[in-house]
Amino acid sequence: MTALLRIESVSKTFPGVKALDRVSFEVESGSVHAVMGENGAGKSTLMQIVAGVLRPDGGELIFEGEALHLRSTRDAAARGIAIVFQELNLAPNLTVAENISLGIEPRALGLFVNRLELRARAAAILTQLGIRLNLDARVGDLTIAQQQLIEICKSLVHTPRLLILDEPTSSLSETETTLLFRVIANLKAAGVTILYISHRMREVFTICDAVTILRDGKHVRTMPLAATDQDEIVRLMVGRDLANIAKPSDHATARPIVLSVRDLSDGRQYQEISFDLRRGEIVGLSGLVGAGRSEMALGLFGAPAPERGDMTLDGVPVKIGSPSRAMRLGIALVPEDRKLLGLVLGLGVGSNVSLAALARLSRAGLIDFGAETTLVGRYIDRFRIKTPSREQLVGLLSGGNQQKVVLAKWLATNPRVLIVDEPTRGVDVGTKAEIYTLMRELAAEGLAILVISSDLPEVLAISDRILVMRQGRLVGELAHAEATEERIMALAALEHATSAA
């Protein structure tokens, strides 16, 4: 057993945050090594140190037996280390081939970009990974999953010996994840060592050889996956007991209807959608990626308004022409893409939490700052948002903690109807359990909740009732008691649809 990388007592402090505290462990050559831990545990920080993005305050990295002193990702690339970041970093207006060589374009006479060479290089990498993509396609027109694969291609231009993947699957569906796993297997067979960050247990047990667990910036354990199980990993990660999630129930049907939707259509992405949402009920909305779930949810929120259809709120007919109208009527939407619609990255945590609730916190046009401070404090506590202060810029929080801020922001508006689209993407196991418990508590207080999720275990764990969409239409409904992963999939995918309905 030889170590490709030895991390020795590495520390890193940001203003107000000790992100890494004397972390030491080894990564075996040729292995796929998982790094796990709660949101804010220090995973991305450590990976960025190994990749030359950040410099450690203390400690050392030994790579192939020699000390590493990296000043940039370029330095790291020269030593054979590449990273694919948690957030995508592509140029949407450039082509696939251009993106793969972005910043390291082959040049003729040291001047002009050699386009032939550029295309040849991209084609070679795509072939090596078994990915079929048009070299001239504009990256902005591709799916998130395809973009994720291009990020990986980009990192392979210098044929790394160590490849770091920071939550590569958080926006991938099951099929796309399988494709990525094939790519990882190919790389491993070619002798590349991989550091793999993920919150998904199933994945880690499928493709990784060893796991390192970080907690609060400290190293907890490194061990072969063959010698452990899920429960032990969760215990080591969380360091406390997980919240017990209250079970969904089947007797929500007696409650009054809050939101009633009839024949909603936008003429393209969803058609003839009809359903009711009751007080105190959590309804799951399931379906394959692209079934029109997010578009329909945005329609309910007036972003944009549907072309046809009727809606009533507490029995009163309403027209929801815009998001601001939806918010005034008590409908809140937590969007799928937190950067696009959810957060203002240049504002502090506190301002983001209270932003959407300001109307409610104002008296005669003046913001009640006392009430605002109390509200923000309550949500930071209730969601365990890991931040040194309420003034910290949201953009500096770890990915999972940003997700919690979006949820807090919309709950702070005190809505009647809450629509959440993929609420736990990138969220760690402990926080997931807390978010489920919180949604259950809010339902018990009378809120009606519609949850879109591609994570089947999640839908089953939290929904009183499950609606299934396929190709823009509602194709079935399952009560909690009769729902299983198989039945949902049978409705969501075209095959067997009729036999299960």
Binding to ligand ATP by CB under 6 A, coded x per residue (else -) over 421-460, reads -------x--------------------------------
CA 195 to chain centre: 19
Q: How far apart are CB 164 and ligand ATP at their closest, in Å?
A: 12
Q: Which region, left, alpha or beta, applies to residue 394 given φ > 0 means left and ψ of -120 to 50 means alpha?
A: alpha
**Which residue in 348, 400, 423, 430 binds ligand ATP (CB under 6 A)?**
400
Please choose, out of 4-12, 42-50, 151-159, 229-237, the segment that lies near Mg ion by the rule CB under 5 A: 42-50
Which residues, 149 to 208, sit near Mg ion by CB under 5 A? none
User: Interior CA angle at 291 toward 323 and 252, to 5°?
Assistant: 70
Instruction: Give the tokens for residue 405.
Output: 């801020």
Which of ligand ATP, Mg ion, none does residue 17 bind (CB under 5 to 8 Å by kind)?
Answer: ligand ATP
Please report whether residue 42 would count as binding ligand ATP according to CB under 6 A. Answer: yes
Q: Is 198 within 8 Å of 36 (Cβ atoms)?
A: yes
Please report whether residue 169 would count as binding ligand ATP according to CB under 6 A. Answer: no
Element (H, E) at 476: strand 473-479
Core vs surface per residue 98-112: b (16+ CB within 10 A) or e: bbbbbeeeeeeeeee
Please report whether residue 165 would count as binding ligand ATP according to CB under 6 A. Answer: no
- Would you say the C-alpha torsion 203, 206, 211, 213 has a positive or negative sign? positive
Distances (CA, A) of 57 to 21, 64, 111, 356: 10, 22, 38, 38
Alpha carbons 76 and 69: distance in angstroms, whole number? 9
Please report whether residue 37 would count as binding ligand ATP according to CB under 6 A. Answer: yes
Please report whether residue 396 would count as binding ligand ATP according to CB under 6 A. Answer: yes
Alpha carbons 321 and 303: distance in angstroms, whole number? 8
Q: Is 329 within 8 Å of 419 (Cβ atoms)?
A: no
- Pick the closer one to ligand ATP by CB: 45 or 269: 45
Tell me the number of residues near ligand ATP by CB under 6 A.
20
- Pick the closer one to ligand ATP by CB: 17 or 331: 17
User: Interior CA angle at 406 toward 34 and 306, to 5°?
Assistant: 115
Please report whether residue 56 would count as binding ligand ATP according to CB under 6 A. Answer: no
Q: How far apart are the first and last CA of the chain?
A: 54
- Pick the closer one to ligand ATP by CB: 73 or 86: 86
Please report whether residue 219 would count as binding ligand ATP according to CB under 6 A. Answer: no
Q: Is 446 within 8 Å of 257 (Cβ atoms)?
A: no
Binding to ligand ATP by CB under 6 A, coded x per residue (else -) over 57-96, reads -----------------------------x----------
- Pick the closer one to ligand ATP by CB: 377 or 395: 395
- Pick the closer one to ligand ATP by CB: 98 or 422: 422
Nearest alpha carbon to residue 332 among 412, 258, 274: 412
Which residues, 366 to 425, sit near Mg ion by CB under 5 A? 399
**Residue 160, preceding bond cis, omega within 30 degrees?**
no
Please choose, out of 32-40, 246-254, 409-417, 447-455, the segment that lies near ligand ATP by the rule CB under 6 A: 32-40
Element (H, E) at 247: none
**Which residue in 5, 19, 32, 448 binds ligand ATP (CB under 6 A)?**
19
Alpha carbons 68 and 81: distance in angstroms, whole number? 11
Which of Mg ion, ligand ATP, none does residue 42 bind (CB under 5 to 8 Å by kind)?
Answer: ligand ATP
Please report whether residue 44 would count as binding Mg ion according to CB under 5 A. Answer: yes
Please choose, out of 202-210, 252-260, 276-284, 391-399, the segment that lies near ligand ATP by the rule CB under 6 A: 391-399
Nearest alpha carbon to residue 409 among 331, 342, 322, 335: 342
Alpha carbons 195 and 76: distance in angstroms, whole number? 15
Please report whether residue 40 would count as binding ligand ATP according to CB under 6 A. Answer: yes
Instruction: Give the tokens for residue 161.
Output: 């010996």
Please choose, out of 8-16, 36-44, 213-221, 298-306, the segment that lies near Mg ion by the rule CB under 5 A: 36-44
The two most distant CA atoms of the chain are separated, in Å, by 76
Please choose, out of 3-11, 295-303, 371-379, 399-407, the segment that lies near ligand ATP by the rule CB under 6 A: 399-407
Tell me the number of residues near Mg ion by CB under 5 A.
3
| Residues in touch with Mg ion (CB under 5 A) | 44, 86, 399
| Residues in touch with ligand ATP (CB under 6 A) | 14, 17, 19, 37, 39-45, 86, 386, 396-401, 428
